[in-house]
């Protein structure tokens, strides 16, 4: 653990909170026990217990006597920011052609509550879930988890995801992206991020969550990605437009 004034239990709370929000723990399945979490994060069991108590007070987990700790589904519905899908896809295409990807996980599984909600799927639906690390000049800079409806995800393979960005694969299937909803936040590296990105646990990361829809409005991809701030930054141009005597900043699409 990094030695700083933030209490250890609070750092573990933030890591577990992010894991719950990003769907790393499956609905109706117990999370790792206190001993396993203590070993994973190299802290005491008492520290983990305090972290879990804080999550419980916020309604993020349910602790069942004799059964374990379970994530509470549907409790973190963030309001997304709107994005210009044309510029977004162009940016991702450029990133995909200039970087390399390694697929850590690829499979078809029951959609967790978060993925089901975002993709607007009925109960007991499956998704194609992939975990990738993207590299630039052989240095890892992003850890990406994507969820795609099963009927679309069955049309590409693990090898396809190694050679091309997911957006390019969707276009190859005849799927045109029409809109996107995304949010930006800061997060701390958990054990999975730390190992894949070669950073210390609790290191600051940029987290982007994005839902892509096709031209008919159907959700076709949900992405949860974290980036190392040393190797990635998100920029946008703004213009100051005065209206009725009040200054206002808008995204400048002309650049």
**CATH 3.40.1410.10 holds for 81-227:** yes
Residue-wise pLDDT tens digits, 147-182? 999 999 999 999 999 888 898 999 999 999 999 998
Q: Which helix (H) or strand (E) holds 130?
A: strand 126-136
Reported confidence tier of residue 9, pLDDT bands at 50, 70, 90: confident
The answer to whether residues 152 and 220 touch, using CB atoms and an 8 Å cutoff, is yes
pTM of the model: 0.65
The hierarchical CATH code for the domain 8-71 is 1.10.10.10
CATH 1.10.10.10 in the chain, residues?
8-71
User: 10 Å Cβ neighbour count for 34?
Assistant: 18
Question: CA–CA separation, 92 vs 114, rounded Å?
Answer: 24
Confidence class for position 44, pLDDT limits 50, 70, 90 = very high
Task: Give the model confidence (pLDDT) of 187-224 as tens digits.
Answer: 999 999 999 998 888 889 999 999 999 999 999 999 99
Distances (CA, A) of 231 to 104, 182, 186, 197: 20, 20, 15, 11
Average pLDDT over residues 144-149: 97
Contact 131, 144 (CB under 8 A): yes
Task: Tell me the average pLDDT across 28-43.
Answer: 91
- Enumerate the CATH 3.40.1410.10 domain ranges in the chain, comma separated: 81-227
């Amino acid at each position: 653990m990094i030695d700083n004034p933030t209490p250890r239990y609070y750092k573990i709370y933030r890591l577990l909170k992010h894991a719950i929000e990003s769907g790393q723990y499956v609905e109706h399945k117990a999370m790792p026990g206190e001993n396993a979490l203590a070993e994973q994060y190299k802290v005491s069991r008492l520290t983990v217990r305090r972290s879990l108590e804080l999550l419980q007070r916020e309604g993020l987990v349910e602790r069942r006597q004799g059964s374990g700790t379970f994530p509470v589904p549907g409790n973190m519905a963030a309001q997304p920011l709107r994005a210009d899908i044309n510029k977004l896809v162009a940016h991702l295409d450029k990133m995909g052609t200039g970087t390399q990807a390694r697929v850590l996980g690829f499979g078809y599984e029951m959609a967790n509550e978060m993925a089901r909600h975002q993709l607007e799927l009925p109960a007991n639906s499956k998704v194609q879930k992939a975990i990738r690390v993207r590299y630039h000049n052989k240095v890892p800079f992003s850890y990406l988890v994507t969820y795609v409806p099963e009927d679309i995800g069955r049309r590409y393979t693990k090898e396809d995801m190694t050679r091309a960005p997911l957006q390019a694969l969707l276009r190859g299937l005849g799927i045109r992206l029409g809109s996107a909803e995304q949010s930006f936040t800061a997060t701390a590296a958990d054990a999975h991020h730390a190992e894949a990105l070669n950073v210390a646990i609790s290191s600051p990361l940029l987290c982007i969550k994005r839902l892509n829809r096709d031209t008919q409005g159907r959700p076709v991809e949900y992405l949860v990605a974290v980036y190392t701030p040393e190797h990635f930054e998100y920029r946008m141009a703004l213009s100051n437009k005065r209206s009725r005597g009040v200054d206002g900043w808008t995204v400048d699409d002309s650049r």
